Structure 1
Amino acid sequence: MNQKDELLVALRPEISTSPAQNPAEAFQNTVLRPILKFQHERITAIFRQHIQKRKMNLSGVSTEAWKSYVETAFQKDLTLRYQLIGLALGMMTEEEWTEFSGDKELARRLNNLLVQRMQSILE
């Protein structure tokens, strides 16, 4: 691991999780979750900017309507999706990125974690 990769790993917060059942879950718990926790403020800022750009009125929005909106926005707004995914990819080491880029299950897990983070903003 080069110096840059060591610094990237050192920035990540420690997260306690249960033992992983499979390699994808281990990657999620050791790489994706800490990165998203570290980037939470940026994720929130990007999504709030998205809401402002769309002139969304959040007063009186039910939790279910909010969750549905977040899922739809993440699926349909490619700019938003790519910005958020880029936040995570930019914090990965070269080895982690290589593992991530070849695995659709890891991409699915990252997408789900990002949606969950955005859904929690309103709560």
Structure 2
Amino acid sequence: MEARENFIISLRGESIGNVTLQSSKEESFQNKTLRPILKLQNDLLIQVFINYAIKQKEVFFDFNPDKKLAYIEHSIHRDIKFRNSLKGMIIGLFTLDEYELYIENSSSLNKRMMNMLIERLRSQVQLIVNS
């Protein structure tokens, strides 16, 4: 088990953002775990969203820029199957200790995770459109 943990941590890289003694557990988890995983999984998450948009009759690609941003958020918040699939791609790269911490605070961490993912996709909407 320790080999998996070391591999995952080395694969993800260093934490992103400041982690101080004053940081809450959720903020620390966000910067040590969630941000590096989202960065690592970025290309996959973009492709997954593109595939989702195509399967939804490709209407996303006809929207104006503001509607595209709203569609990204709406899709992740409203489509439970899609959201759970995205969560699985992120949770699968947790260590066992991180998973333990996650299940203690899953509600607030899920909210952080999805909000960060939405912002990441929205900030790269041009990559989604031009793919």
Superposed counterparts of 1:2-41, under 5 Å = 2-20=2-20, 21-41=23-43
Counterpart of 2:124 in structure 1 is 121
CA RMSD between the two structures:
1.7
Cα deviations by residue, 1:44-91 (Å, 9 ceiling, x for unpaired):
0100001111112525612x3222111111112122111110011000
Counterpart of 1:69 in structure 2 is 71
Unaligned residue ranges in structure 1 (runs of 5+): none
**Rounded Cα–Cα distance in structure 1 between residues aligned with 2:121 and 2:7:** 27
Counterpart of 1:106 in structure 2 is 109
**Rounded Cα–Cα distance in structure 1 between residues aligned with 2:63 and 2:99:** 40
- Number of residue equivalences: 122
Bigger Cα displacement from structure 2, 21-30 vs 9-18: 9-18
Cα deviations by residue, 1:5-58 (Å, 9 ceiling, x for unpaired):
110111003354234432211110000000010000110010000111111252
Q: Which structure is higher in helix share? A: 2
Bigger Cα displacement from structure 2, 90-99 vs 112-121: 112-121
**Rounded Cα–Cα distance in structure 1 between residues aligned with 2:60 and 2:78:** 19
TM-score, normalising length from structure 2?
0.84
Amino acid at match of 1:17: G
3-state DSSP of counterpart to 1:17: coil
Greater length-normalized contact order (CA 8 Å, ≥ 6 residues apart): 1
Counterpart of 2:129 in structure 1 is none
**Rounded Cα–Cα distance in structure 2 between residues aligned with 1:48 and 1:8:** 26
Amino acid at match of 2:2: N
Amino acid at match of 1:6: N
8 A Cα contact 1:13 1:37, kept in partner: no
Identity over aligned pairs, percent: 26
